Chains A and B, each alone.
Chain A
Amino acid sequence: MKILVAFIILWPLAGFLFNGLGRNYWSKKLIAYKATGYIVASFIASIFAFLYVQDNGAVTVHYFDFIHTDSIKIPFDFKVDALSSLFLLVITGVGSLIHLYSTAYMQEESAPHYARYFAYLNLFIFSMLLLVLGDNYIIMFMGWEGVGLCSYLLIGYWFSNGNYNYAAKKAFIMNRIGDLGFLLAIFWLIAKLGTVSYSEVLTAETVAKLSSADITGITLLLFVGAMGKSAQIPLFTWLPDAMAGPTPVSALIHAATMVTAGIYMITRSNILFTHSEITQNIVAIIGISTALLAATIAIKQNDIKKVLAYSTVSQLGYMFLGLGVGAYSGAVFHVITHAFFKALLFLGAGSVIHAMHHEQDIRKMGGLKSKLPITHITFLIGCIAISGVPPFSGFFSKDEILAAAFEKNKIYWVLGLVGAAMTAFYMFRLYATTFLGKFRGSNEQEAHLHESPLAMTLPLIVLAILSALGGAIGIPHIMGGHHWLTGQLSTIVSTPQVAHLAVSTEWILMGLSVAIAAIALLIALSRYSKQTDEEPSSAIGKFFYHKWYIDELYQKAIIEPLNKFALFLKEFIEKKVIDGAVNGTGKLVQFSARKVRLIQNGQAGYYILFMVVGIIILFLIWFNDITILRFIHTLTQK
């Protein structure tokens, strides 16, 4: 098992080293085969690990002690249990499909850049595996940082474009803000418990030792970390900007890796979160507000990738709503189904962009249905899945979260339903504008329209099948299923959230959400199959179109004051105070030297005078000493 787990994680690292170091020597074919092959090898190893866990239960493998002192011991352990083995499958499975897709999508790049791209991609998978496999928060944090780094590298992959660099920096900085929260939470845990291993921290006895203030503080800080990685309010603006990277990278970030890290972390620490009512409420509120905010923005965007990006933010909001209301297995379920259909949608969008020669504006598309048949069908399946139409996968996972929300608080449920309607609306607006109607691009583009090569369509087909049937892992009891996933996670999630709703209520809830999604879907289809959105004229349309002016708000409220403060530090503190102190010291020495120099006037008499004065002063000080006075006193006594 030790070797098997090492295989899972070392294959991507080997790929990274191979492609990163040899980028100037290998041919593109070799690079593509190696990079994809390593991830597939990792996927196969993951399957074996998964089957092993199915038979023998969770395993912890110990490699060496990472930090070993008197007061703290941090072993370099990996934990493979139901939760991490599921994530392993999703990461390496979807990851290898994305690698396969990339081999064709990135074909235009020259060999060194092609190798650089795959090196980053492999490193990304490696970091994510480290994050998921680690048996303590420190190893998770290493992977966490690695993922942040790789997202920076990949978003800024086309580094000659200044805007892309800006987007990369934005992603990195936003993530760093969240990382700080995570790091503080780790420190807090070490200070209170002296350990960060899951097996020691996440037990009922340990939790009982912590005060409720501690638990709330730690979980809130952990949530801040999750906010940064998983793009929740207020740290979500980096994710849509991350579209600057190549499209398969977006698929990787949005589906298999990175943004699911926050969900994984909270699910992993669910014992702590369950014990803090306040944090749970905050998580749920932030989750549902992010879901709604991002959905409203997605309705008005015209860039195919931007719509998908905001839809990811919105779906992540749903997952956090699930975490907040205690439906941990529901959130993980949604992570998995979302990984399928979001990877599918992004790769489909990539296929469209590829066919359109890097045109991303959906107003210039339309009528691609006949030109790109495979892309069209798979994309449609993705849209249906994300909109929550049964029996596609998104329906089951979303419905589980909504049912749990209904149980906890009806308002969450109503808002969630509104969000679901908006999801269906913007997804089918995207679908209809892109694939239906007449072609609106240039003639040149129309002449070049072509279906993508097999390396790109094959992942689409596989993902479409998974999106359509992925819901099978969590069919609820009332439909005659036995919810395989909840059973799987019952050892990880401390209190399995069994829906206590009456069967009829649950059917009604399901019917309502499907009906609302279907209505929104049909409205979108009928409205956008012939026409497109022009620039919005109404105030609220503009508001959504400009993304609630949140970037502008951050610019005004945070960046500009910070810049002003930095300018103040530069102009005043640096130039006046610090330089003043340094130059002042020099000037003082020069000035006093010029004055003191005059004392040395060459007159022997003065020298003697100063000497005598000095001696007198010395004596005065000397005889003030009490011990000397006492000595003289005893002398005179004799």
Chain B
Amino acid sequence: MPIEYYIFLCLMLFSIGVIGVLTRRNAIIVFMCIELMLNAVNLLLVAFSKMNYGAAKLISATTTAGIDAQIFVFFIMVVAAAEVSIGLAIIVMMYRNTHSIDINFLNRLKN
């Protein structure tokens, strides 16, 4: 499959994530949108990695080109998992305090 397909898909997913973060007020959905953006980036990384590997293999059969990008993806997944656990914990605490998960209530720092 041409690389453009992946790029367009990732662009779309990322944009949906951005728009979701900007427009939605529900904290959980915002959170999901952030995950969406992260995964869009992951997908792109994997796609480029594969592309690079394919190109390098034509020159050398034993190449390891592109392997670093896939390792990077795993890092992102681990970090995302840690982030989700903390994020959800924050949301739970927030709900206990305000009985709402609307992020527009999160303006206590103002004033």
Contact A608-B21, Cβ < 8 Å, known A601-B110, A602-B110, A602-B111? yes
B22 near A602 (CB under 8 angstroms)? no
Report the separation of the CA atoms of residues A605 and B55 in the bound assembly, to the nearest whole angstrom.
42
A638: chain B residues at CB < 8 Å are: 55
Task: Using C-beta atoms within 8 Å of the partner chain, give the interface range for chain B.
Answer: 10 to 19
- Taking the nearest CB of chain B, how far is it from the CB of A441, in angstroms? 92
Per-residue contact bits, chain B 1-25, to A (CB 8 Å; 1 contact, 0 not) = 0000000000000000010011001
Per-residue contact bits, chain B 28-68, to A (CB 8 Å; 1 contact, 0 not) = 00000000000000000000000000010000000000000
Report the separation of the CA atoms of residues A476 and B55 in the bound assembly, to the nearest whole angstrom.
113
B55: chain A residues at CB < 8 Å are: 638
A613 to B, closest residue via Cβ: B22
A605: chain B residues at CB < 8 Å are: 22, 25, 103-104
A603 near B18 (CB under 8 angstroms)? no
A602 near B21 (CB under 8 angstroms)? no
Q: Which residues of B contact A (CB under 8 A)?
A: 18, 21-22, 25, 55, 103-104, 106-111
A602 to B, closest residue via Cβ: B110
B110: chain A residues at CB < 8 Å are: 601-603
Chain A residues within 8 Å of chain B by Cβ, number: 9
Per-residue contact bits, chain A 574-607, to B (CB 8 Å; 1 contact, 0 not) = 0000000000000000000000000001111100
A609 near B104 (CB under 8 angstroms)? no
Report the separation of the CA atoms of residues A471 and B107 in the bound assembly, to the nearest whole angstrom.
106
B22 near A609 (CB under 8 angstroms)? yes
Q: Which residues of A contact B (CB under 8 A)?
A: 601-605, 608-609, 612, 638
B21: chain A residues at CB < 8 Å are: 608, 612
B104 to A, closest residue via Cβ: A603
B22 near A603 (CB under 8 angstroms)? no
A604: chain B residues at CB < 8 Å are: 103-104, 106-107
A612 near B107 (CB under 8 angstroms)? no
Report the separation of the CA atoms of residues A601 and B108 in the bound assembly, to the nearest whole angstrom.
11
25 A–B pairs (Cβ distance < 8 Å), ordered by A: A601-B107, A601-B110, A602-B107, A602-B108, A602-B109, A602-B110, A602-B111, A603-B104, A603-B107, A603-B110, A604-B103, A604-B104, A604-B106, A604-B107, A605-B22, A605-B25, A605-B103, A605-B104, A608-B21, A608-B22, A609-B22, A612-B18, A612-B21, A612-B22, A638-B55
- Taking the nearest CB of chain B, how far is it from the CB of A631, in angstroms? 13
Please provide the 9 A-B residue pairs with the shortest distance between their CB atoms, ordered closest to farther: A602-B110, A602-B107, A604-B103, A609-B22, A604-B106, A638-B55, A608-B21, A612-B18, A603-B107
B103 to A, closest residue via Cβ: A604
B18 to A, closest residue via Cβ: A612
- Taking the nearest CB of chain A, how far is it from the CB of B30, in angstroms? 9
B109: chain A residues at CB < 8 Å are: 602
